[in-house]
Structures are given as structure tokens and as C-alpha cells.
Structure 1
Amino acid sequence: MKKSVNHYFYIFVIIIALFIQGSIPDHSTNWKLSHNKNQLSADVSLYNNNSTASILPVNNTFAANNIIEPSKGTFLIASPGLIDPNFSKTVVLLIEYSENGAVGLIINRPSDVRVKEIIPKVRGASIRNKKVFIGGPVSIYQLFFMVMSDKKPEDSYNVFDNVYLIPDLNKASKALPRRIIKNQLRIYAGYSGWAPGQLDHEIARGDWYLIKADVNSIFFKNPEDVWPELIKRSTAQWV
């Protein structure tokens, strides 16, 4: 199958960014707001200056109908009216939420790029052949490894239930089990970030539906089916 221009451009951008950073950088705390909130705020502010979502009016009725609060392990489901192309028809898993802001990963946007195309030396066919998902518009050179495991992998961060996040390739190569069963692993490039108070405003405005995260939507369902199914579930819970 002939590869699209976007396919090669995406690979080029990630490889160049990795080269500039000096091989594979250690970003083990970049997404943890309590550790590096200044850098994250700068990244998020740069993105927000180009975002179109802020032109939407506030919808207080929607906010009143959300029956759960945003927190780690919550799905943000883009409302049908969300016009920002970075988030239209997306489902975002919140991996961090605090007074310093929020960080999440889009779970339903696979690219056609495989790990072996951007990191040729990575070992293990189960990792090499995995498609890279687009986690968000911030720091697209940064890779995140989401793994489902009965035991907490070394250097990992528990998101919810038996779902863990490893925010660094070098650590992931050591922490992940040698045999990874199909659908136990998802790999994301980039993340989604919100400055302090920004996500709360977007929720109040009606941009996002909130629902408790579940393992099936992340690891087992066809990504194309995730948003339609969850939008029905999230609206049904408060009708």
C-alpha cells in the first residue's frame, strides 16, 4: 500500500525531534504537573493561542448535567459541537488533574505509523509492530506507553484499575514484560494539556462529556467505534 505524504511527514517530525533532544530523552516527569508545571504551562499556552475551541459560548446546562467530576482515570468525550480539529470526536483519558492543570491522552486516534518506523532499534515484535496513537497536539516527539497489567510495572504510574502509564521509552523497554499479549499495550505520541482552570471552563462551556474510564475502550475496541459508543453512553447516563 502506498504511504501518504502525511505518513512520512509525521515520521520525519518525530525523528528530527528525537535527534535534537539527543536520542531518546527522559521525560519521566514532563506530564506530572506537580514536577514540571512551568514547562507544561508554556506548551499548553502555545497550543491554546492557536485553538479554535475558545470561541464557543458557555453552556451551563451541560455542566449541571455532568454527574462526575474530572479526575485521573476519567474519560473526556468531545461533544458533537466541539469544533477544534485537534479534539473533534475524540475521547481523552485524563492521566493527571489538579489545581495546576490537566493532562490527558487521546485514545481513539491511531496513526498509520508503526513504532519500528520511528525507532528502528527497538526490540520485541510486539512493540515494533504497534501502531502509534496520536495522544494530543503537545510535544508530539514524546512517547507514552499505556499497559494493562495485573502487577505494577517498574517506573510506571497507575492511571486507574490495572492500567499503568510509562512515560519513557528506555524505562518501558525494561519494565514491560517480555511477552506482551495482543491488546495489552498502547503507544501514544504527544499528549493533551490544559492550563490551570482551562479544562473546568471547557467543561462548563459544554465541550466535554465526562464518564468513568474503562479498559475495553482503550485496549479492545475498534478506535473508530469508541467515540460513537461513549457519546451514547455518556448522554444516556443523565437523560
Structure 2
Amino acid sequence: MNSIRDCCTALAIAVVCAASPAAVAGVEDEGDAVLLVAKPEMPDINFAQTVVLVTFPQDSGPMGVVLNRDAGLTIGQLFGPDRPELKDIPDPLYLGGPVKPDGMLFLFRAPEHPVKALPVVDDLYLSGDGPIFESLVARPADGGNRKFFAGYAGWAVGQLDAEIRRGDWHVVPVDAETVLAPPMDDLWQRMLVRAASRSAGANATPGTKPGRRLAAH
């Protein structure tokens, strides 16, 4: 557990500091985050029945976190006697993905864009920065304004577009309330309904253009 406690997630910090745009196309060619909703026939067991928040760092492939896999312990339980001052923190830990499962990322709201954080939507950010983590856990649990993850999901440039073309994912817009508000245990089912509703609406309106990033669906 110490490796999670001490993690600043080097990849997350590196992509936050990136300056050059990536040469990518399709779903990966925008700066905004999206939600991926695994289709029922998803072949990858790592992502079966998942909803994944995906961001698009400037000089690497997409990265993000699985929102709906509860690790079964709280942040206080995670750190245990190593950090007794955190023992009463009730925030659940989520399994963010198969990459670096001993590292931690976190979603949080902030009034301004922190330097070492990726913007998600509105006032919501994703980071793996140690000082940001310490500032978050120093505050009382604030009812849906933060979320903690062990590990993350990542794709090589072009890989996610290929998965979408293959039919693995629905792609839907992201909003902070969906990302942060419980419950998460039925999030996948709810997002499947939302994705189906969006698809039906698009099909029922001839001549309308799909939203940017949603052209694959």
C-alpha cells in the first residue's frame, strides 16, 4: 500500500505538462473528455460492464479511469496505520484500470485549473500529483466533489479509435454529476440506457450532424 500512498503518478504529471499536440484522428482528435460505455459484447475482460472517463493529453494516447469498479475499501482503510490521520476518511477507493494499479489518480473539483491536473469538464480535474492529494485529504469529505482511483486505463495513439470502429464502446458526453455522484453500482446500466436514447434520437432526426467525437456512433 505504501506505493499507492507515495505515488505522484509520473505519467499523469508528464501529460499535464505536455506542450505539443498529438497527431491523432477520430475520437482522439479533440481536447475534451468523454465517457466510454462498454457495449455488452465487450471482448476485453478489463473493461466488461464498465464506464470509463477518458481524457486526451496533448502528446500521448488517451488515458482515463474506470468509474464503476469499487475496490471494497475506503481511503482510510487503504493507508491504515501508515497514515493514522487519514483513518476516518470515508471516501471509497475505485479500481481505475489495469495500468499502474499501485498508483493513484483522483478526480476533484477546483475553482481554478491546478498546474498538475488535466481538465475534464467545467470545474472537474484529474491528477496524480502528491501535493494535490494531500490538500484533498486534508479537507472533510465533501459529498461528491472528489473520487480516488488505484490504477488507470491507457491507450496507444489510434488504439481507442480502432476499438470504437470495432464496436466495443458507446461514446457519450461527460458531465461532472454523472462522474462524481453515487451510486456507481448501476452506472453501467444507466449509461447504456442513455447511449441508446442518444442513438435513437440521432436516428430519428435525419440531416442532423452527430456531435464532435460522437461520429463513430
TM-score, normalization by structure 1? 0.69
CA contact (8 A) 1:33 1:96 kept: no
Q: How does 1:42-121 map to 2 (within 5 A)?
A: 69-70=27-28, 71=30, 72-96=32-56, 100-120=60-80, 121=83
Is the 8 Å Cα contact of residues 94 and 148 (structure 2) preserved in structure 1? yes
Going from structure 1 to structure 2, the CA distance change for 1:76 and 1:170 (only over 3 Å counts) comes to: same
In structure 2, what residue type is equivalent to 1:116? G
Identity value in percent: 24
Which residue identity does 1:157 align to in structure 2? Answer: L
Counterpart of 1:228 (choices 182, 189, 202) is 189
Structure 2: tracts of 5 or more residues without a match: 19-25, 201-217
Match of residue 24 from structure 1: 6
Q: How far is the alpha carbon of 1:33 from its aligned partner?
A: 4.4
**In 1: Cα distance, 2:144 partner to 2:16 partner:** 31
Question: 1:178 maps to what in 2?
Answer: 139
Cα 1:168–1:97 shift into 2, 3 Å: closer
Cα distance 1:170–1:228, how it changes in 2: closer, same or farther (>3 A)? same
Q: Secondary structure at the match of 1:86?
A: helix
Q: Structure 1 counterpart of 2:6, which letter?
A: I
What's the TM-score once normalised by structure 2's chain length? 0.75
Aligned Cα RMSD in Å?
2.8
Closer, same or farther: CA 233–152 of 1 in aligned 2, 3 Å: same
The CA distance in 2 between the partners of 1:98 and 1:207, in whole Å, is 24
In the TM superposition, what is the alpha-carbon distance from 1:157 to its structure 2 partner?
2.8
Asked if the contact 1:93–1:105 (Cα under 8 Å) also holds between the matched residues in 2, the reply is yes
**Contact 1:111/1:134 (8 A) holds in 2:** yes
* Change beyond 3 A, Cα 1:199–1:31: farther
- Give 1:35 deviation, angstroms: 6.3
The structure whose residues are more often helix, as a share, is: 1
Give the whole-Å Cα distance in 1 for the aligned partners of 2:60 and 2:199: 29
Q: Which runs of 5+ in 1 are unaligned?
A: 1-13, 37-67
| AA partner of residue 102 (structure 1) | P
